[in-house]
C-alpha cells in the first residue's frame, strides 16, 4: 500500500501511463499529478476528472498538467505544481515516450533527435527537477519505463532503442548516485504491450511478434502498472538499479 504517497507520472492520459495512475490510486496514493503533451481534445482538466471518476476513490486526488517532457523548464513547472498541490513528491514515474520508426537509411535527423528528446532527455528533465524535493524528504522512488528493445535492439528502431538503452544507463547511474539519500531508481522494460503505440503495427507484424512471446499473449498496461507499484512499495525497499522485463518471457 502507498498511503500518503504523492506521485508524478509523465504521459498519464492513456496507455501504460493511465494504467499506472489508476494502479497508484488503487494502492492509496494521496495525490497524483500526471503530465502530458497534448491530452485528448487538449483538455487536461477533463482528462483528470475522467480518471478521478474511474478510480472511484475520493481519497486519491488526481491532477493533470500540460507539459512537454522534452523541456526541462516545463518539467520544472510540473514539479512545482505538484509540490504546491500535493505538498511534496515521493514517487516519479518517467513513462512518456514516442516512436518514430524507420530503417536507418530512411530515418531523418529530426526523427532521431525527437525520439531521444521525448524518451531520454525527458527522464533527465524530470529526475533533475524532482531531486531537491526528494533529497530534502530523505525519500524517493523513481521508476523509468524503458523497453526490451533497449536491451536487445530492434531493426527499424535505432532511435527508440538508443533512447531506451540510454534510460537504462541513466537509471543505473542514478541508483548509485542517490542510494545514500534513500532514493531508489529502477527501470521496467516492457515487451509487447497493448496500447496505441502498438496499434500502429499491422496484423502480420503482430502475429510475428506474438510468436516470440513464450506466454503467447500481448501484455496489458496493467501488467506493467502492477510492477511499477511494487517497485514503489515497501516490499521493494532493498531493490535499486534494476531493470525488470515485463515481456511474457521474450527476453530471458
Interface residues with ligand NAP (CB under 6 A)? 10-11, 13-17, 35-39, 68-70, 95-98, 118, 145, 147, 190, 192-193, 195-198
Nearer to ligand NAP, 60 or 147 (CB): 147
- Cα–Cα dist 100/115, whole Å: 7
Instruction: Pick the closer one to ligand NAP by CB: 146 or 175.
Output: 146
Going by C-alpha positions, the residue among 44, 40, 45 that lies closest to residue 14 is 40
Q: Give the nearer residue to ligand NAP in terms of CB position, either 112 or 192.
A: 192
- Of 131 and 187, which CB lies nearer to ligand NAP in the complex structure? 187
> Least distance in Å: CB of 13 to ligand NAP?
4
Least distance from ligand NAP to the Cβ atom of residue 183, Å: 21
Catalytic residue at 126? no
Is residue 91 within 8 A of residue 145, CB to CB? The reply is no
Catalytic choice (63, 126, 139, 160): 160
Specify the residue for cell string 501484455. Answer: 219
Question: Around 136, how many Cα atoms within 13 Å sit in the side-chain half-sphere?
Answer: 9
> Is residue 33 a contact partner of residue 64, using CB atoms and an 8 Å limit?
yes
Nearest approach, Cβ of residue 180 and ligand NAP (Å): 28
All 3 cell numbers of residue 177? 548516485
Shortest CB 240 distance to ligand NAP, Å: 20
Taking Cα atoms as reference points, which of 28, 13, 129, 32 lies closest to residue 71?
129
d(CA 81, CA 83): 5
What's the rounded Cα separation, in Å, for the pair 197 and 217? 16
Positions of E strands within the chain: 6-10, 31-36, 61-66, 91-94, 140-145, 183-190, 243-246
Question: Least distance in Å: CB of 119 to ligand NAP?
Answer: 6
Instruction: Report how far residue 228's alpha carbon sits from residue 106's, in angstroms, rounded to the nearest whole number.
Output: 35
Q: Which is nearer to ligand NAP, 15 or 140 (CB)?
A: 15
Q: Please list the active-site residues.
A: 160
Amino acid at each position: 500500500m502507498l498511503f500518503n504517497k504523492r506521485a508524478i507520472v509523465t504521459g498519464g492520459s492513456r496507455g501504460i501511463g493511465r494504467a499506472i495512475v489508476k494502479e497508484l490510486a488503487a494502492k492509496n496514493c494521496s495525490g497524483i499529478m500526471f503530465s502530458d503533451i497534448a491530452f485528448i481534445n487538449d483538455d487536461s482538466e477533463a482528462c483528470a476528472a475522467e480518471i478521478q471518476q474511474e478510480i472511484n476513490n475520493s481519497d486519491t486526488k488526481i491532477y493533470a498538467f500540460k507539459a512537454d517532457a522534452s523541456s526541462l523548464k516545463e518539467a520544472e513547472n510540473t514539479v512545482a505544481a505538484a509540490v504546491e498541490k500535493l505538498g511534496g513528491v515521493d514517487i516519479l514515474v518517467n513513462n512518456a515516450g514516442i516512436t518514430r520508426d524507420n530503417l536507418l537509411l530512411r530515418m531523418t535527423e529530426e526523427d532521431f533527435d525527437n525520439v531521444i528528446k521525448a524518451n531520454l532527455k525527458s527522464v533527465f528533465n524530470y529526475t533533475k527537477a524532482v531531486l531537491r524535493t526528494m533529497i530534502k524528504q530523505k525519500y524517493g522512488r523513481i521508476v523509468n519505463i524503458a523497453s526490451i528493445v533497449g536491451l536487445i535492439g530492434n531493426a527499424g528502431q535505432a532511435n527508440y532503442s538508443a533512447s531506451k538503452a540510454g534510460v537504462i544507463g541513466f537509471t543505473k547511474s542514478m541508483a548509485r548516485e542517490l542510494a545514500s539519500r534513500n532514493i531508489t531508481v529502477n527501470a521496467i522494460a516492457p515487451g509487447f504491450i497493448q496500447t496505441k503505440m502498438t496499434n500502429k503495427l499491422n496484423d502480420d507484424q503482430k502475429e510475428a511478434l506474438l510468436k516470440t512471446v513464450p506466454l503467447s499473449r500481448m501484455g496489458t498496461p496493467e501488467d506493467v502498472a502492477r510492477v511499477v507499484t511494487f517497485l514503489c512499495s515497501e516490499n521493494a525497499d532493498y531493490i535499486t538499479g534494476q531493470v525488470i522485463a515485463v515481456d511474457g518471457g521474450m527476453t530471458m
